[in-house]
Structure 1
Amino acid sequence: MKILWLNINSSYSHTSLSIPALHAQLWESVESDIEWRVISGTINRDISLYISEILEFNPHLILSTAWLFNHNYLYSLLVRSKALLKDTSIILGGPEFLGDNYEYLSQNSFIDAVFRGEGEEVFPLFVDRFVKGMDWFSLPGFCHIDKNGGYVDNGVAEVKDFSALKIPESSSFFEWDRPFVQIETSRGCFNRCTFCISGNDRKIDNIPASSLRERLNKVREKGIKEVRILDRTFNANPKRAILLLTLFAEYSPDIKFHLEIHPSLLDKEIKESLVNLPPDLLHIEAGMQSLDNNVISECNRSGDSDSSLEGLNYLVHSTSFEIHTDLISGLPFYTLKRLKADVRKLVLLNPEEIQLESLKLLPGTKLRENASKYGICFSPLPPYEVLQTNHISFEELKNADTLSKILEIFYNGKILKESFVKLCNDNEIFLDLLIEYYDSSIFDYNSGAEKKAMLLWDFCHKNFKNSQVYIIKEWICNGYSHNKGPGKLLRIWKFGDKIVNPVFKSESKDYYYKFLDLDKKRFWFIFNKTINSYKPISNFIEIL
């Protein structure tokens, strides 16, 4: 029996944990009867190359996991493969099938079945029955169209003993050549967020913290520098979180851990634990989603805006870790006006990154089921993005998407970030005008850093001339061109000029000097002739 795994991801660094997680559970008696093959790659690869590999193996069964951003590509690949291999069975799983699967299966008859839920305990039973030609359609989690055209839905499969599962790293298919590994120390989430696939009634299961030591030792032995903890809310159980943090600290500086923390739930003990950890041990995703309490409440998310802001402020200013946070446009009751105000609040706190994403109505979520209640119109195709709601129009969501790009360029991308932050904090209408200017410009989002910086310079030259000093100084200190934008304002100082140079170094001929006068101040910049760069080695402000 030949079974093929299709491991299709959005990028090389990402890989599906489902393959080793499922394979690790197989019985030895079943394993010996199977010839396995894994075909891995990204959605950027030529589909014909995958098809050639599939034809060469000629499998009896193809298995794959469908995600938000690989689903369309995976469909295109599988429909072509089935046309060439008519006797090959195809079964899919993954978060794309957590909702009602009748319509999908009816429209895609080349798919034999889809699986909904957690597969580790069902998988060995399925493989055993499939290999022996026995009925597997009745197993929990499987959905299919029977021979009479009827839809059969076996519900949602749920692992009953999470701690008893064999770890994914024990599978021969676990990929140790990636830049990071993923480890799930708990399953389930105490939050019941209506927009999240984990916002169901599943109980929370944990594996013993002590069992992680051996796994982390192996990660370190393999030379992998990053571990991403998949727990939905790492600090849901404060005592356990502290126990894990203490364990993680033992692996500094060899391993950095990525965690998702709810900033509203940082109690005194966790705060004390965080500040005593080695620097750079953690990368923390502190989810905010919204700072509007009406939105938070309507989405059934725990916490409130004040405690979340207090928690985020603590993480940013009292710890030594990289902190990312996020907002989601399109949530119920979330207006564009409030969204922009929330962005300004987060910019003021100054975390490392602020991610602004549009709401995706994922299959199986409560919000998707109740979309009509909020007047939510969304794309029926992946990634199921919201198109409008009762509280935000299509055009306003376009503005929110522009704001997301602006944050990616100037805040997260650090293109004139200091100037952007100051302008945002000093002017309430800054974001409104910048969104309008960005949309009216013929601008390529994929342009180089200098062209992106020019966009902000031209905008400020038109709208905030009194604030141009921020950009001028940062432009020059970043080493951007002296032949365009603020760089053209620089004047060359030469020995013998009437202007006295307070930073002149007579003992060295390797330096040259430029200056500019702004607001009764003279900004001096020292450059090294031996370095072919516009970036100054130091600067000085002279009061005129």
Structure 2
Amino acid sequence: MKTLLVALNSKYIHSNLAIRYLKAYAGELCDIRIEEFTINQRVDSIAAEIFRIKADIVGFSTYIWNIEEVLDISRIIKIVSPETRILLGGPEVSYDPVEILQSNRFIDIVIYGEAEETFRELITGKNVDEIDGLAYRKGDEVFINPQRPLIENLDDIPFPYSENDGLENKIVYYEASRGCPFNCSFCLSSTIPGLRRFSIDRVKRELDFLIGSGARQIKFVDRTFNADKSFAHQIMEHIAQNSKQMTSFHAEISAHLVDHEQLEFFKGLRKGLFQFEIGVQSTNQDTINAIGRITDFNKLKEVSKTIASFGNIHQHLDLIAGLPFEDYHRFSKSFDDLFEINPEKIQLGFLKLLKGSRLRDEAELYGYEFLEKAPYEVLKTKWLSYEDIIRLKDIEELVERYYNERLFKYSITHISIKYFESAFRFFELFSDYWRRSKLYDQAHSRESLYNILFEFCKSMDIEDMALITDLIKLDFYVNNDLNKLPKAFGKTNSLEGSTLHDLLRKTELVKTYIPEELETSIKDLIKRIKVDYFSTDIFQLIKAAPPYSYSETKTAVMIYSPPMRKEDKKIFDVTKFVREVLV
């Protein structure tokens, strides 16, 4: 029996873990093929590729972000190949398998719950009515079998990746454990009791393989990676000792569980080795209590700020709009609480009432109005109107553009703290400016974003425009092409041509600041250097914490772009060297 397992990933560089587990657990029992597509590909094109394979069973891994495409593809396959059995599994069909079958007559079988053992029994020809964890169609009737117990020993599941998977430069999903010790009412992990782990020796061996594969990022899908302190520490210690420069690791942690010993360990890690995603969701204790979340925000804040001070670990802090007891004003407080930590990203999500979650069952209690179609996002609550939510969506877009991309590291933090009541208030008024100016309806180059921020500050009659100009200009030089300053800044005061040539030839500047370039010709070096005047002492700003104080001291600044990593630009105060040339 020829079986095809299909994944529709969100991006090409992603890999699907679920279908690989199924194939690995089935072993050599039958002919199993894996195909991965993305949700950005045309449905008819994917269906055509599947049809050409001529499989007896086509199985799909389903999630809220691909279920509609999966159903469309399945419908096509059943029309053009009625004898093909269509199988669905995954979280999007595990909580209403009977309804899925009744509503979609082109679906033959649904695996609900943990799928490895159920799938193996199915493809080996066992009668469907004898297989736990299965719902199926017989003629016009739909049947559901008893739920299958969880696999007790996760090491019974073979490693899902192989050398033929082509993982180089991809984001690879990996799990060291299943389950979660917490019971957050919006999350599906709370519906599966207990926390199970793969053995630590196995995890180390498998991570060594993935590191050797050249993967760009290994993303742990464990719901709370550091739920077991000792287990998590052993994994991270092994990664620190065996990782390669090209690979980073992403893990979702609970910051309030991190202790002093772990912070000391984090402090010594290579820059960029780890990214931590920290689900804060809300800083309102009434909200935290209502969703059954266990956290200590004061401890979380202390830990996250300490990690931020190390400068070596990216932190992504999450908020969810639409949770119980949090109105627009209180959500703004949660945002400001996170902004004070200054993480690399503040991710603003919007509540989705997932099938099987307790919060979906409590929808009426909290006045939730939501679409019954995936992704089931909430439209209004007792505390948030639809107008509130769409305004928060506008703000979320600007947070993504102006904060999370880290292209305005110096300017946004200073402007929002110094000249506005709060960071949230800044983004709120900036969003109003975008809406009035119809900027949301236009495409924007990166350069235009700097112009827009500059014009917004002017429109608000903000003092110290010289300082704001310098901060935005610094952000631009550090993150963009050195030779293309946005038009909002007018004529540049940068050193050009023979003056810049003389600066490098007649002074000790190169030897002092970039001795590694001593053998580089000035003609080539000039292409990677910008020297410009700032009206303030920009280095006083860089060393200080925002909001910045400054002195109006004209400063010559050199921005240097290394040959191999242009994003790692360096800045130097070259005022004294410029004076030597201009005298």
In the alignment, structure 1 residue 217 sits paired with structure 2 residue 208:
yes
Q: Could you tell me whether the CA contact under 8 Å between 2:87 and 2:109 is conserved in 1?
A: yes
SS in structure 2 at match of 1:44 = coil
1:167 equivalent among 159, 168, 175? 159
Q: 1:22 is aligned with what amino acid?
A: L
Look up the equivalent residue of 1:462 and give its one-letter code: S
Higher helix proportion = 2
Counterpart AA for 2:17: L
- In the alignment, the residues of structure 2 paired with residue 18 and residue 341 of structure 1 have an alpha-carbon distance, to the nearest angstrom, of 38
Counterpart residue number, 1:106: 102
Q: Which moved more, 1:257-266 or 1:40-49?
A: 40-49
Secondary structure of the corresponding residue to residue 41 of structure 2: coil
Which residue number in structure 2 is paired with residue 416 of structure 1? 408
Q: Which residue, out of 178, 185, 203, partners 2:176?
A: 185
Q: Which residue of 29, 33, 52 corresponds with 1:37?
A: 33
1:169 match: secondary structure: coil
Write the distance in 2 (CA, Å) between the matches of 1:186 and 1:464. Answer: 54
Asked if 1:285 is matched to 2:268, the reply is no
Residue of structure 2 in register with 1:484 after alignment: 487
Please tell me the residue identity of whatever aligns with 1:338. Answer: R
Alignment of 1:151-300 (within 5 A): 152=144, 154-155=146-147, 158-169=150-161, 174-177=165-168, 179-254=170-245, 255-300=247-292
Report if the CA contact (8 A) 2:280-2:317 is conserved.
yes
Q: Which deviates further from its counterpart, 97-106 or 54-63?
A: 97-106
Q: Does 1:460 align with 2:457?
A: yes
SS of 2:188's partner is coil
Tell me the equivalent position of 1:4: 4
Q: Which residue of 2 aligns with 1:356?
A: 348
Q: Write the letter of the residue equivalent to 2:300.
A: S
Moved more, 454-463 or 278-287: 278-287
1:449 is displaced (CA, Å) by 1.0
TM-score by length of 2: 0.81
Report the 3-state secondary structure (helix = DSSP H, G, I; strand = E; otherwise coil) of the residue aligned with 2:218. strand
Distance 1:520 1:248, change over 3 A: closer
Q: CA deviation at 1:163?
A: 2.7
1:141-156 → structure 2 map (5 Å cutoff): 141-147=133-139, 149-150=141-142, 152=144, 154-155=146-147
Matched ranges for 1:76-87 at <5 A: 76-87=72-83
Whether contact under 8 Å (2:557, 2:575) holds in the other structure is no
Name 1:388's counterpart in structure 2.
Answer: 380
Q: Distance in 2 between matches of 1:81 and 1:316?
A: 50
Distance 1:313 1:537, change over 3 A: closer
Alignment gaps of 5+ in structure 1? 496-502, 529-534
Give the counterpart letter for 1:140 in structure 2. Answer: D
Deviation of the 1:146 alpha carbon: 4.4
- Give, in angstroms, the shift of residue 281 of structure 1: 2.6
1:21, distance to aligned residue in structure 2 (A)? 0.6
* 8 Å CA contact retained: 1:189, 1:198: yes
Q: Matched residues in 2 for 1:5 and 1:265: separation? A: 38
Deviates more, 1:453-462 or 1:278-287: 278-287
Alpha-carbon shift at residue 64 of structure 1 (Å)? 0.8
1:344 corresponding residue in structure 2? 336
CA contact (8 A) 1:525 1:536 kept: no
Instruction: Answer yes or no: is the 8 Å Cα contact 2:320–2:350 preserved in 1.
Output: yes
- 2:111/2:135 contact within 8 Å kept: yes
Q: Give 1:163's aligned amino acid.
A: D
1:499 corresponds in structure 2 to none
Q: Compute the TM-score of the two structures, normalised by the length of structure 1.
A: 0.87
**Structure-2 residue corresponding to 1:404:** 396
Q: How many residues align?
A: 523
Instruction: Provide the C-alpha distance between the structure 2 equivalents of 1:505 and 1:54, rounded to a whole number of angstroms.
Output: 61
Deviation at 1:523, TM superposition (A): 3.9
Q: Which amino acid aligns with 1:521?
A: E
Contact 2:204-2:235 at 8 Å conserved across structures: no
CA shift in 2, pair 1:240/1:482, >3 Å: closer
- The structural deviation recorded for 1:512 is 9.5
1:471 aligned residue (462, 468, 471): 468
CA distance in 1, matches of 2:400, 2:432: 17
What CA distance in whole angstroms lies between the structure 1 residues aligned with 2:357 and 2:26? 30
Q: Tell me the SS of whatever aligns to 1:283.
A: strand
**Alignment partners' CA distance in 1, 2:291 and 2:491:** 51
Matches within 5 A, 1:87-98: 87-98=83-94
1:63 aligns with: 59
**Superposition deviation, residue 151 in structure 1:** 5.0
> Cα distance 1:347–1:363, how it changes in 2: closer, same or farther (>3 A)?
same
For the Cα contact (< 8 Å) 1:189–1:233, is it kept in 2? yes
1:263·1:311 contact (CA, 8 Å) conserved in 2? yes
Q: Given that residues 348 and 421 in structure 1 are in contact (C-alpha distance below 8 angstroms), is that contact kept between their aligned partners in structure 2?
A: no
Distance 1:323 1:384 in 2: 27
Paired letter, 1:488: G
Q: Is the 8 A contact 1:348 1:425 kept in 2?
A: no
SS at match of 2:319: strand
Residue in structure 1 matched with residue 444 of structure 2 by the alignment: 447
Cα separation, partners in 2 of 1:293 and 1:153, compared to 1, 3 Å: farther
Aligned partner of residue 33 in structure 2, secondary structure = strand
Whether contact under 8 Å (1:293, 1:304) holds in the other structure is no
Q: Residues 362 and 174 from structure 1, CA distance in 2 versus in 1: closer, same or farther, beyond 3 angstroms?
A: farther
The AA in structure 1 aligned to 2:487 is K
Deviation at 1:397, TM superposition (A): 0.7
Q: Displacement of 1:301 after TM fit? A: 0.9
CA distance in 2, matches of 1:7, 1:158: 23
Distance (whole Å) between structure 2 residues aligned to residue 148 and residue 357 of structure 1: 41
Corresponding residue for residue 24 of structure 2: 24
Mapping of residues 112-123 of structure 1, within 5 Å: 112-123=108-119
- Partners of 1:59 and 1:420 lie apart in 2 by 54
Pair 218,414 (structure 1): closer, same or farther in 2 beyond 3 Å: closer
Task: Kindly indicate whether residue 552 of structure 2 is the aligned counterpart of residue 521 of structure 1.
Answer: yes
Would the alpha carbon gap of residues 87 and 451 (structure 1) be closer, same or farther in structure 2, given more than 3 Å must change?
same
The 1-side partners of 2:281 and 2:326 are apart by: 10
Q: CA deviation at 1:446?
A: 4.6
Counterpart Cα distance in 1 of 2:350 and 2:194: 28
Following TM superposition, by how much is the alpha carbon of 1:216 offset from its aligned partner in structure 2, in angstroms?
A: 2.4
Return closer, same or farther for 1:493/1:156 CA change in 2, 3 Å cut-off. same
For the 8 Å contact 1:179–1:225, the answer to whether it is kept is yes
2:338 is paired with a residue whose SS is helix
CA 1:454–1:156: 2 relative to 1, 3 Å: farther
CA contact (8 A) 2:535 2:553 kept: yes
Question: Take 2:464 and 2:133, find their aligned partners in 1: how far apart are those partners?
Answer: 60
Distance 1:505 1:275 in 2: 38
Please tell me the root mean square deviation across aligned C-alpha atoms, in Å: 3.3
Q: CA deviation at 1:389?
A: 0.7
User: Is contact 1:257-1:283 (8 Å) kept?
Assistant: yes
In 2, Cα distance between the equivalents of 1:308 and 1:221? 34
Give 2:564's aligned residue. Answer: none
- In the TM superposition, residue 17 of structure 1 has moved relative to its aligned partner by 0.8
- The 1:173–1:492 alpha-carbon spacing in structure 2 relative to 1, beyond 3 Å, is closer
Equivalent-residue separation in structure 2 for 1:104 and 1:266 (angstroms): 42
Letter in 2 for 1:398: I
Pick which of 425-434 and 153-162 moved more.
153-162
Measured against aligned partners, the alpha-carbon deviations of 1:462-482 in whole angstroms (never above 9, x if no partner) come to: 114215344311333324755
Match of 1:437 among 433, 443, 455: 433
